[in-house]
Amino acid sequence: MEEIAYAKINLALHVRGRAADGYHRIETVFAFAEDGDRLTVAPGEGLSLALTGPFADALAGENDNLVLRAARAFAEVAGVQADAALTLDKRLPVASGIGGGSADAAAALRLLERYWDLSLRQESLQLLAATLGADVPACLASRAARGEGRGDQLVPIDSEGLTETPLLLVNPASPVSTSQVFAAWDGIDRGPLTDWRDGRNDLEAPARTLAPAIGQVLDALTGADFARMSGSGATCFGLFTSEVERDRAAARIAAEQPRWWTLATRLKKSAGRE
């Protein structure tokens, strides 16, 4: 069995303040790409995780990968023996603002629900997802939604006009720490999020202080119909009116910046788990 860990896109992200528990209150609009990491499962004694793919080395030193944490937590909640041999094909760069470990953890929950032949209530699985990280509930559903609170208070939105839109993701090979970006936020509430196109990403300015190449990436995406940084960076995205224009931009960027990572894809049409 296989599950895609769909790349997460923040179409807009407004930071409204910092809560007493240290977390930041945000308003965001989530969307998801059709592509991402790939997680497969096979019979095994106990839980194991093998890493493959172009970004596997970046996770090789982790002693407690979020995929394994998700699997163990799921088995405990469901009351099943945690037996599964998992393989993560890591195709997305780490610390890049497009879901990463959160998407992988969510994919593990969806995959193991099928593999262990379980059927948990959506509310129960969402509560479990929230214990694993603020973005995991959104990644579990993998559908367009508005997120508030830590980003885990979700309301699905009408994705008409978004689904199957040609999408180009670009990362300047600059890992960025989410915690450092939030710590560098200036603390100014610049107002609520209404329409994502008229919104902003309040984390772009602090992220640029850590990864100045973000500005170059956005400049390289000037041919897009719409471009913005996703999450805490450094990945930026461009939405295009056609796949031809998207692919032309991808080829140009790859030629000009061969070290940068690019992914030509589309915004996904349906949820990973309804």
Q: Where in the chain is the domain with CATH 3.30.70.890?
A: 166-266
**Percentage of residues in the chain having pLDDT higher than 90:** 89
Question: For residue 272, what pLDDT band results from cuts at 50, 70 and 90?
Answer: very low
- CATH class label, 166-266: alpha beta
**Could you say which architecture CATH assigns to the domain 2-156?**
2-Layer Sandwich (3.30)
Question: For residue 120, what pLDDT band results from cuts at 50, 70 and 90?
Answer: confident
Note the pLDDT of residue 270.
60
The yes-or-no verdict on residue 271 having pLDDT over 60 is: no
pLDDT digits over 198-251, tens only?
999 999 999 999 999 999 999 999 899 999 999 999 999 999 999 999 999 999
**Percentage of residues in the chain having pLDDT higher than 70:** 98
Note the pLDDT of residue 187.
95
DSSP assignment of 94-159: SSSSS-THHHHHHHHHHHHHHHTT----HHHHHHHHHHH-TTHHHHHHTS-EEEETTTTEEEE---
The yes-or-no verdict on residue 255 having pLDDT over 60 is: yes
- pTM here is 0.95
The yes-or-no verdict on residue 121 having pLDDT over 90 is: no
Which carries the bigger pLDDT value, residue 71 or residue 121? 71
Which carries the bigger pLDDT value, residue 124 or residue 167? 167
pLDDT digits over 125-153, tens only?
999 999 999 999 999 999 999 999 999 99
pLDDT digits over 7-66, tens only?
999 999 999 999 888 889 999 999 999 999 999 999 999 999 999 999 999 998 776 799
Which DSSP state fits 234? Answer: S
The span from the CA of 73 to the CA of 69, in Å, is 6
DSSP assignment of 31-59: EEEEEEEEEEEE--SSEEEEEESTTGGGG
Residue 94 phi/psi, 5-degree rounding, is -85, 160
Residues known to be catalytic: 8, 135
